[in-house]
Amino acid sequence: MARAGPTAEQMEWALAEACKEAIGVAPGWFRAWPTADEKWSVVNIRSATQVIVNHSREDDRHPDSWTVRALFGPRAVELRVGPYDSKTDAMLVAHAVLSVAYASNPPMPARFPRSSGAPGAAAAP
């Protein structure tokens, strides 16, 4: 049985999520959560060895949710996208991050409105 892919609305949402944290100075740069001794952090996704989706059960910042991380050899860096309630949403955003990072003409963040959640997701109270 074939699985249905994401809808155009879901991909548009994922691109908006990725573009919110893209840095416009050069292709591939995204905001990341800084470590304790840093004030801010950015990483170049083009130099990452992998982009993964991680289930954060033990993380106090966002327990039982999904985050997007970039791996640079043995070091994992959490991107400032998310966290997401479902693995599917996190995977869509991870795909969008790679699409924006490797696009020849990446979409500008201002083009996409800020959204409160994935299309079809229940609204937060």
Which strands make up the sheet holding 50-56, listed edge to edge? 50-56, 65-72, 75-78
Q: What is the residue-level pLDDT of the chain in tens, covering all 125 positions?
A: 677 888 999 999 999 999 999 988 888 999 998 877 777 789 999 999 999 999 876 666 667 789 999 999 999 898 999 889 899 999 999 999 999 999 877 665 544 444 445 655 544 44
- For the chain, what is the radius of gyration of the CA atoms? 14
DSSP string, 56-121: ESS-SSSTTEEEEEEEETTEEEEBSS--BSSHHHHHHHHHHHHHHHH-SSPPPGGGS---SS-TTP
* Per-residue tokens: 92: 């869509």
Would you state the structure tokens that stand for residue 37, as one six-digit string? 């001794």
